[in-house]
Amino acid sequence: MIGQLHSVVIDAPDAHALATFYAGLLGMDVRGEPGDDWVVVTGAGYRLAFQQAPDLRAPDWPDPERPQQFHLDVRVADVEVAEPQVLALGARRLPGGGGDFRVYADPAGHPFCLVWDA
């Protein structure tokens, strides 16, 4: 092993707002303030970082001209319970999905999936 993963870093037009979205989705804590160029969320041994990118060209799922750039799979016990919660946080449902996942966009347009054991 050469190293260990320290952070997954996500560009956002508003780093604090997107960090707050993922903190709410994942039950994590936000370290940073509105207007900060770098905001971190932590919890349960995990860390996500968000960096200010005011000119971010958001992905447009599933358009290959504007690819997804990254995505997170978030395991849930019951998607019918989880979906309204993520929508209330500011996510929106995207086309696609399958027997054990649904695709959404975070408030900055990055796709993520809710996954469960089908």
* Averaged pLDDT for residues 64-74: 85
Which of 54, 75, 96 lies at the terminal end of a domain, its last residue? 54
What is the count of structural domains for the chain? 2
> Which residues have C-beta within 8 Å of that of residue 81, sequence separation ≥ 6?
none
Does a structural domain hold residue 59? no
> Span 90-98, mean pLDDT?
93
The token pair that represents 117 in the structure block: 């054991």
Q: How many residues does the chain have?
A: 118
This prediction has a pTM of 0.83
Range(s) of the domain holding residue 11: 1-54
Question: Is residue 112 exposed (0-12), middle (13-18) or buried (19+ Cβ within 10 Å)?
Answer: buried
| pLDDT of residue 3 exceeding 80 | no
Q: What is the pLDDT of residues 36-58, one digit of tens each?
A: 999 999 998 999 999 999 999 88
pLDDT in tens, 99-116: 999 999 999 999 999 999
Provide the CA 26 distance to its chain's centre, in angstroms: 9
